[in-house]
Amino acid sequence: MNLNLPTLLAKHEGTFWFAPSASTFAEETDSFFMIILWISTAFFIPIVIAMIWFALKFRKRPGYEGDSTALHNNALEITWSVIPTLLVCWIFVRGVQGYMDMVTPPPDTIDIQVRAKKWDWLFTYPNGATDPNLYVPKGKNVRLLMRSEDVLHSFFVPAFRTKQDIVPGRLNTIWFHPTLEGQYKLFCAEYCGDNHSEMLSDVFVLSPEKYEEKLAELSRPPTTPVAFGQWVYIRNCKSCHSDKPGVINVGPSFAEKWGKEFKTTTGETVKFDEQYVEESIRNPLAKRSADFKSNATMTTQNLTPEEIAAVQAFIKALEDGDITPELDAEEAASQAAEEGAGESSSTNETATGNSNETT
């Protein structure tokens, strides 16, 4: 699948005020925002002018005696009470209508399960496929059934104008109707710990055909050991262990480790090999590197022997240069933009941001 990221991003960058408008909520939200902004402006300017004018007119000065009696004008009092009250009531009613729209999903929705945890997202699609990115079809109603595994998180896609807290122990739902194909950002909008700011993901609005293709592709793991290893890595390890040299997410990076010897916290010298990876997955804290100063802990990962073998192959391939780390969406977009600008026409398979295409 080939998403032409720079073109999509360039077409609907949004405005000074707004993120791109990619759902039916965007138009409603933005027009309402603009109406309230203009109403506020219409009141703000005359009020400030009157304040300045009165301050000058009635300022203390030689030869000027203030008048201690207050004036009263019924018509004026009623006008400036009734007009703002009516406006505020109208804003309230329209706000409630908009809110009810957002919390009442239509009956025909595509349901996607969302698991939020420190500090990543996992989406499970109707066909059972899972992915850390959110793929949705354009022109269909999508409902998200969201659960948190640990603390309070918040699902926020500015381009859809949707935001919903994900309270642990509760099922939290949200729905939207994507209207514009493209790639957008998904944020966690609730402070949830050290790596809250890293709790990001990408949202892809695809044509219904592309969406079906993507789901079929996601439900089929790659078959070669290294590509399968990367597939397993992305789903189980990546949120804590980077595949780029020197990058610390929560745990140590997997890059440039294979075959190297290091000292553990108990003073033992250990080689980073199949044996070590196997043990670290089953019993993560058995051999901690003395160089890695962090209190971060890791829980035992439930991987099958095939999956562990694949992760071993993947980490080894990273060292051998047989596979390159996946680029993040932003890196892929900027790289694609550079390629588009220069005359370099050589295909760079790392720019696809898609694990299957590296097979």
Which residues make up the interface to ligand CUA (CB under 6 A)? 119, 153, 188, 190-192, 196, 199
> Measuring CA to CA, which residue among 166, 201, 165 is closest to residue 186?
201
* Residue 240: CB minimum distance to ligand CUA, A: 14
Chain-centroid distance of CA 97 in Å reads 27
* Residue 114: CB minimum distance to ligand CUA, A: 12
Question: Which residue matches tokens 């588009």?
Answer: 340
SS3 label, residue 155: strand
Contacts of 37 (CB under 8 A, 6+ apart): none
Query: Cβ closer to ligand CUA: 196 or 210?
Result: 196
* Residue 191: CB minimum distance to ligand CUA, A: 6
* Residue 37: CB minimum distance to ligand CUA, A: 29
What does the DSSP assignment read for 16-40? SS-----BHHHHHHHHHHHHHHHHH
Query: Cβ closer to ligand CUA: 119 or 211?
Result: 119
Query: Cβ closer to ligand CUA: 153 or 210?
Result: 153
Angle at which helix 305-320 crosses helix 274-282, to 10 degrees, equals: 130
* Residue 234: CB minimum distance to ligand CUA, A: 19
* Residue 120: CB minimum distance to ligand CUA, A: 9
Question: Which residue matches tokens 């299957």?
Answer: 356
- Residues 29-37: contacts with CB within 8 Å, 24+ apart? 29/98, 29/161, 30/161, 32/94, 32/95, 32/98, 36/91
Query: Cβ closer to ligand CUA: 188 or 311?
Result: 188
CB 152 within 8 A of CB 168: yes
Structure tokens at 320: 């051998």
Query: Cβ closer to ligand CUA: 87 or 152?
Result: 152
